Amino acid sequence: MNNEFENNMNETQFEDMRQQLNTLKKKLDEQEIVNDRLIRRSMKKTVSSINRRYYLIIALGIFMIPYGYWVFIKLCGLSMAFWIGTSIFMLVCAGATYYNSLNLSDSGMMNHSLVDARKKVARAKKFDSNWLLFGIPAIILWLGWLCYEVYQKESQTETDYFFWGGFIVGATLGTIIGLTVHFKTQRQYKDIIDQIEDLTAEE
């Protein structure tokens, strides 16, 4: 009698423990799903932020073509060749930015295969990083051409004003802003890749 009672108690306790474990497992699974959704939402928000920045750069690059004509030709009297060269450079920058944005153009990228998403993000990060290998020398050449154009002008006072005001201040601010944007984008790319790796490791 006692043995039967003890066996029943043990079975009841075991069943209670199993139900508790099942409940705990269910809660953990639900928590994991919630965490997965939150991380994917965070990654999607970061990708959208990078895309908006890219679209702004593209728009500025295109806007600089007519604006550059007004500033360089009409206002400052620089050569037509310089404006054409500047316009080509702006188009190359806008085109390269658009090309790289195609890696992030899929709005549902973070809702599908994270392995494919990681490949696209890593490809965009590498392209963005390698762009400096072209961008920095191109900027240096452009600034050198600008200096040459300015010093060809007859008015030395105007030349000095343009040089110190436009070249030094503008180039310094442009460099700081450009590098800040670049490194911020690189950090965001790295954050996305790290989050994807964390999720895929758990799977």
> What pLDDT digit, counting tens, does each position of 107-130 carry?
666 666 777 888 888 999 999 999
Instruction: Please tell me the pTM assigned to this model.
Output: 0.74
CA distance 201 to 203: 5
pLDDT at 92 (0 to 100):
94
User: Long-range contacts for 66-72 (Cβ within 8 Å, ≥24 apart)?
Assistant: 72/149
> Residues near 189 by Cβ (< 8 Å), separated by ≥ 6?
50, 121, 122, 124, 125, 128
Residue with tokens 């604006």, as numbered in its chain: 67
Tens digits of residue pLDDT in 34-85: 566 777 777 788 888 899 999 999 999 999 999 989 988 888 788 899 999 9
- Our CA angle for 76, 80, 81, nearest 5°, is 120
If we measure between CA atoms, which residue out of 61, 66, 121 comes closest to residue 96?
61
Give the up-direction half-sphere exposure of residue 153: CA atoms within 13 A in the CB hemisphere: 20
Best mean pLDDT range from 23-27, 115-119, 150-154: 115-119
